[in-house]
Amino acid sequence: MIEMREFHQLIVDEKKEELIEWVTETMNSGTLTVRTLYNDYLIPSVGLFECPFQEDPLCIWKEHLRTSVIRSIVEIVYPYVLKEKKKKIGKKIILACPEREYHELPLRIVSDWFELNGFSTIFAGGNTPRSSLLKAVEYEKADYVALSVSNPYNLCRIKEMIDEIKNVKQTVKIIVGGIAFENNPRFLEKLSVDFYLKDLAAIDRFSEEIRG
């Protein structure tokens, strides 16, 4: 097993093929689980990304490339998510980012985590049109809608989206998360949300409470 720092350096160096090979081999052998991969490698690695734009004008470009490498890993891991998934919890959740919120990778990881905990998940991704989401809430008969915001400028949009979701289906429960809420906790007081889940551990606790 490689250490997290070595794993992170491979991402920085854009060693996509080497990373995919390592993840595939270790998961096939059973020495690495999805939970360990996400908790001990992917999320800590993302947390180490920095973008000193004044010093390195290419940092945004590099961040996009590194995010692409991580997304490739997440995509190939999905069959293992299904394999490690707990007994179905009997609840359906839609996961989306509001319009103009393009940072969907954290929510993609969260979607897998809900899946691991037994939820039926529908991942809508970034920049989800409000009108489409409102129709989907009714059509999919969702029990929960999870909304993620990374860019603080999109917090105003999510307030409007939540209010409209509640108008469409009062019984649906709203979950929010993302770095924008973590950095602006008082904004939560302005929202009609049912749950704020800060991290994957919070999702585990939430899921166990529902399971009873």
> Per-residue pLDDT tens for 65-106?
888 899 999 999 999 999 999 999 999 999 999 999 998 999
Asked if residue 112 lies in contact with residue 34, where contact means CB atoms within 8 angstroms, the answer is: yes
DSSP-derived 3-state class of residue 120:
strand
Task: Fill in the amino acid letter for 122.
Answer: I
Q: Which residues pair with 176 in a beta bridge?
A: 147, 196
Q: Tell me how far CA of residue 200 lies from CA of 101, 110, 113, 127, 204, in angstroms.
A: 21, 7, 7, 22, 6
List pLDDT tens digits, range 110-156.
999 999 999 999 999 999 999 999 999 999 999 999 999 999 999 98
